[in-house]
Structure 1
Amino acid sequence: MQSIRQYQKIKAQVRDICLNTDLAYLEKSIDTDSSTSVDEEKLPSTSSSPSQVPGVQVRNIVGSNGQKEYVFIVGWDGDVDPVKPKNWSPTRRWVATTMLCLISMMGAAASSIDAAVEPQSTEAFHVKDEVGTLTTGCYLFGFAVGSLVAGSFSETFGRNIVYVISGAIFMIFIMAKALAPNFGAAIAFRFLAAFFGSTPLTCAGGSIADIWTPLEATFSLPVMTIIAYAGPMLGPVVSAYMGESSAINWRWADWIMLIYAGLIMGLVFLFQPETYEPLLLSWKAEHFRKITGDNRFKSEAEATGSSSLWTRLRTSIYRPFLFTYTEPIIMLFTIYLIIIYIVLFTFMSGYPFIFQEVYGISQGLTNILWVAQIVGDFLALLLVPLLYSWTKKEYEKATAEGKSLKPEVCLYYSMMGGSILLPVSLFWMGWTCYPEISIWSPIIGSAFFGYGLITVFTSIYLYVIFVYQTYAASALSFMTFGRYMASGAMAVGAIPMYRSLGPHYALTILACIAAVMAPVPFLLYRYGHAIRRMSKRVQNKD
């Protein structure tokens, strides 16, 4: 709905430009260029003065026939163009960001919502507990595969239509899972739901970059990640008592997910604007062509012949894997996130061993204890204003010295106790979950794990975006693929691990692995600049 309004608003803007400016200026620019025989790729851009055309440049390009031709490149009218997403009011940009948080949380919550009712679903499908964890594992596998292709569709058709269509298909497969007649159908539908549900989490970073400046993104992106990535912790809480309930059955976990998704997608359809600038500019160029009858008006993407969907898909699938042997930063971060996500998703099956068996509490209450991790996650929101102010000061200082902002400032989140608290919280939970020790001790430990997880995650995402810039999408795709594939595999092995080792030693092993990675943010803060200079694909090497 908002996209339609934007389309009409751009049409009205172009009509006003055509009525109130001298379009003949463009022809005069061509005549001037031809008479002076200046062979330039690009003439001086027009300004918003009455004698010129706001946001339009005359450019000499090589056409599809191999001959040079003049085109009118349609762009933004500087920092005053009201249609440009970065020029929207703060309220409108925060509404768009809130929508991104909600749809991202939708896909993330679906990854874990079935975990709380696994005992009942496995019994209904007549499969073993270990096999039953495939409902979570296959969802994570679908998320991994979907993350490789979602970005290409959003860069071809725009963000909004991809969010809406993928969200609608996601809902169809969630409904199919709720009606699944057997276990094979259930895990197949979970995989397909995740494939389409991965779109918001994959593309949300691009949408944030569309509407916020790089400096502003150091505030808005952490807010989005902290809220959206509470989804896996929220899922078991939502379906906590559905498995044990006599009023409803375990399938209501999927029905509740469908209802939530329907509400969110309704809001997105009504209120989420299109943010992808190349698409908005192509609409603007289209209106210029229709109103003036001159086909020389083109957007930058149209003039340069942007890649086809197939080319984008092929690149998005193979390019991320180039980072496996060329980029030590990406490999290090991928391993770090794999460890964190393995812990998170093995908790889905591990919580009954940590809390239910040790303290004798019910299945429903065990799932409610995920609230502690959510509290830890949201505690990280308190850091956002503080670290943004620090980042802004660093930015102003660097600008005054004629330098760029050092990406290492993005590591502040994990250095504010996050990377240290990850192993500490796991040791804490592992060695205090005894009947003679209060249940509140491992609960508090889990809250610190939630805090550590989100602060490390936020640091990694911000750092990769600042360092790799145009390659960031490929780098993040590889990291997403790696962590979901690995955590999906380990989710299936969680029950045997906790059953054979017990919660004390299982958590101790995971804590030791996390402890090895704890120094990573501090080492990168100290030596990151040297590592960046040696990298082939790092674009911010200063």
Structure 2
Amino acid sequence: MMLNSDTETETEGDSSVRGVGKEERALGNSNATSMLDHDGETTDVETPPRRPSSQVSGPQSHSQSDIHQTPVSDHEKSSGPNESRDDRILVGWDGDDDQGNPRNWSTLYKSWITFQLGMLALSASLGSSIISPAGKTIAAYVGVGSEVSVLSISLYILGFAFGPLCWAPISELWGRRWSMLPPLFCLGLFSIGTATSTNAASIFITRFFGGLFGSAPVSNVSAALGDMWSPKARGTAVTFYAVAVVGGPTLGPLIGSALLVNPHLGWRWTEYLEAIWVFAMFGLCFICLPEVYTPVLLKKKAARLRKETGNNAYYHPHEEIKLDAKTIVTKHFSRPLLMLTTEPMVTCIALYASFVYAILYLTLEVFPIVFSDNRGWSPVIASLPFLGLFVGVNLAVVVNLGNQPRYARIVDAAGGRPVPEARLAPMALGGFIFAIGLFWFGWTAAPNIHWILPVIASVLIGAGFNIIFQQCINFLVDTYVLYAASAVSANTFLRSIFATGFPLAAGPMFRAMGVGPAMSVLGGVATVAIPVPFLFMKYGVTLRKKSKFAPYKD
């Protein structure tokens, strides 16, 4: 998600260039752009400063006048297409109201695009859980233990950990469409591969690669939302997008159970249905989803102007960006790990977000134990309590949106700068709700206690999870700004690792300890984490002052 993108990066100059008209505003955030990505993932784009060049908004500007001057680094010394760099014309938008800029599209059109992006994310997140009710059936079919069959869930989520390392640089280089639609198509293919598998190895391999490709829309959708929506409006868009992301894990088990009990369908149709949904969304978005990434749009505009005018001086710096192994290693791998291990705020927030995220996937194994094994409910009925989680997730939207006006006032008072500490009040509330929900669920899960009580507890778990999770992402983005991509990537990697392991441990842990004690252990961990937002309320500014990555201004 773009940060501070309402403020354009401009450098005034007094020189004139023959043949260049009055300059419109340049591409915003040309020196450093940070975009929110995952669920919340981000990608940081560090475009080097440019040397003096003419900067235009369109072919109509061809009279002599003052222009903006921007320096160039050694990185950009290669000349543009058939043109000396001395007289190159930097292409930008045609003023603040240029309709080519996604920020200026109508609210209705942007809402339609937001819907498409949400459906892309739902396609991938649904795939993580729709197969979960079929665990025992798959185990019997391929001849493995039920604990081993949980790998069909865990390996998919493991793909979420490593996929963004690939899709983030592709998103920066070629744009949002290319970073989401081809991988989504591959997710559909691997879903069919799982559905047609005849042994455990092929099921697990296709599931891992399904998650690897499915991570593309999950990790890049919120960045696309940031391309379209202004900072004050994007919070609402991202909140509703998050519901689509979390809706997959909570609704998938119910859909999968309905398919599993149908004698004409069975477990394979959990993956066939996933493939059908994926291909349907791919077709819709292939036709209707436009590119929204500003650097790619301006690169295309520069190429169009060269073709229309015959003047090869038109250029945009994105045409010269190269993707190499060093950039991928330093920016998309080593820096997130460095921040995860050396930045206390990243470490604590990532651990907290990873814990609550992993609990969401742990429920995929715990709910069947509580409602199917212990109470004897049929698979479909035993999946209905997942709706409690979904209701809680939606209730969290009210809390997160309720904090938006307060946050906007605090940002305005700070001169438009992000104020990370203003994100922490909802997180603190969510921490209490989440811990209460875990204890409540554990000690009302016994078969002799009415089923409505653990279902109410699941509502609290879902609400607490979504409040904490969204504010953790917002806090990291506000704190690290330019390096928000790396901070959120660290969070994405760690949370996917946690979510990979928790379902594997759930069955043995809950059967050995019992539901009440096991949930009490998790509730105890959640209780220990409650002080995290309060500590950052008090010491956040001090930590930002000492950080190598977090900018701070008095």
TM-score by length of 1: 0.87
Give 2:510's aligned residue.
498
Q: Pick the aligned partner of 1:274 from 291, 303, 313.
A: 291
Q: Secondary structure at the match of 1:73?
A: strand
* 2:322 is equivalent to residue 307 of structure 1: yes
How many angstroms apart in 2 are the aligned matches of 1:341 and 1:523?
21
* 2:345 is equivalent to residue 329 of structure 1: yes
Larger helix fraction of residues: 1
Give 1:287's aligned residue.
304
How many angstroms apart in 1 are the aligned matches of 2:391 and 2:64?
53
CA contact (8 A) 2:418 2:479 kept: no
* 2:26 is equivalent to residue 26 of structure 1: no
Give 1:388's aligned residue.
404
How many angstroms apart in 1 are the aligned matches of 2:505 and 2:412?
49
Q: Pick the aligned partner of 1:406 from 396, 409, 419.
A: 419
Q: Which moved more, 1:309-318 or 1:209-218?
A: 309-318
- Cα shift at 1:311: 4.2
- Cα shift at 1:339: 1.4
* 2:209 is equivalent to residue 221 of structure 1: no
Q: Which amino acid aligns with 1:408?
A: E
How many angstroms apart in 2 are the aligned matches of 1:120 and 1:54?
74
How many angstroms apart in 2 are the aligned matches of 1:393 and 1:446?
33
Any idea what the Cα deviations from partners look like across 1:132-181, whole Å, max 9, x if unmatched? 10101111111111122211111111101221101111100001000011
Q: Which amino acid aligns with 1:407?
A: P
* 2:361 is equivalent to residue 348 of structure 1: no
CA contact (8 A) 2:388 2:455 kept: yes
CA contact (8 A) 1:529 1:541 kept: no
Q: Secondary structure at the match of 1:404?
A: coil
CA contact (8 A) 2:22 2:63 kept: no
Give 1:357's aligned residue.
373
Give 1:162's aligned residue.
179
- Cα shift at 1:532: 1.2
- Cα shift at 1:106: 1.3
How many angstroms apart in 1 are the aligned matches of 2:218 and 2:505?
25
Give 1:4's aligned residue.
none
Q: Which amino acid aligns with 1:424?
A: I
Give 1:436's aligned residue.
448
* 2:333 is equivalent to residue 317 of structure 1: yes
* 2:196 is equivalent to residue 184 of structure 1: no
Decide whether aligned partners of structure 1 residues 414 and 53 sit closer, same or farther in structure 2, where only a CA change above 3 A counts: farther
Any idea what the Cα deviations from partners look like across 1:79-120, whole Å, max 9, x if unmatched? 111111111111121122211211111111111111111111
How many angstroms apart in 2 are the aligned matches of 1:94 and 1:469?
26
How many angstroms apart in 2 are the aligned matches of 1:391 and 1:215?
9
Give 1:42's aligned residue.
52
How many angstroms apart in 2 are the aligned matches of 1:106 and 1:338?
22
CA contact (8 A) 2:142 2:200 kept: yes
Question: How do 1:114-125 and structure 2 match up within 5 A?
Answer: 114-125=131-142
Decide whether aligned partners of structure 1 residues 405 and 345 sit closer, same or farther in structure 2, where only a CA change above 3 A counts: closer
Decide whether aligned partners of structure 1 residues 294 and 47 sit closer, same or farther in structure 2, where only a CA change above 3 A counts: closer
Q: Secondary structure at the match of 1:242?
A: helix
Q: Which amino acid aligns with 1:201?
A: V
CA contact (8 A) 1:468 1:537 kept: yes
Unaligned runs of 5+ in 1: 1-22, 30-39
Give 1:397's aligned residue.
413
Any idea what the Cα deviations from partners look like across 1:381-423, whole Å, max 9, x if unmatched? 2234422222222233333xxx6241222234323x3111111
CA contact (8 A) 2:54 2:88 kept: no
- Cα shift at 1:45: 5.5
- Cα shift at 1:432: 0.9
Give 1:127's aligned residue.
144
Give 2:438's aligned residue.
426
Decide whether aligned partners of structure 1 residues 474 and 540 sit closer, same or farther in structure 2, where only a CA change above 3 A counts: same
How many angstroms apart in 2 are the aligned matches of 1:352 and 1:201?
26
Task: Indicate the RMSD between aligned Cα atoms, in angstroms.
Answer: 2.6
How many angstroms apart in 2 are the aligned matches of 1:68 and 1:372?
61
Q: Which amino acid aligns with 1:483?
A: R
How many angstroms apart in 2 are the aligned matches of 1:488 and 1:143?
9
CA contact (8 A) 1:240 1:368 kept: no
Decide whether aligned partners of structure 1 residues 337 and 164 sit closer, same or farther in structure 2, where only a CA change above 3 A counts: same
How many angstroms apart in 2 are the aligned matches of 1:353 and 1:165?
38
How many angstroms apart in 2 are the aligned matches of 1:419 and 1:289?
56
CA contact (8 A) 1:57 1:72 kept: no
Q: Pick the aligned partner of 1:236 from 253, 276, 279.
A: 253
Q: Secondary structure at the match of 1:76?
A: coil
- Cα shift at 1:218: 2.4
CA contact (8 A) 1:74 1:300 kept: no
- Cα shift at 1:372: 0.6
Q: Pick the aligned partner of 1:69 from 69, 86, 97.
A: 86
Q: Which amino acid aligns with 1:413?
A: P
- Cα shift at 1:24: 5.9
Q: Which amino acid aligns with 1:326?
A: T
* 2:523 is equivalent to residue 507 of structure 1: no
TM-score by length of 2: 0.85
Q: Which moved more, 1:384-393 or 1:232-241?
A: 384-393
Unaligned runs of 5+ in 2: 1-16, 24-49
Give 1:99's aligned residue.
116
How many angstroms apart in 2 are the aligned matches of 1:355 and 1:215?
42
How many angstroms apart in 1 are the aligned matches of 2:417 and 2:103?
21
Q: Secondary structure at the match of 1:360?
A: coil
CA contact (8 A) 2:21 2:63 kept: no
Q: Which moved more, 1:129-138 or 1:239-248?
A: 239-248
Residue-pair matches, total: 504
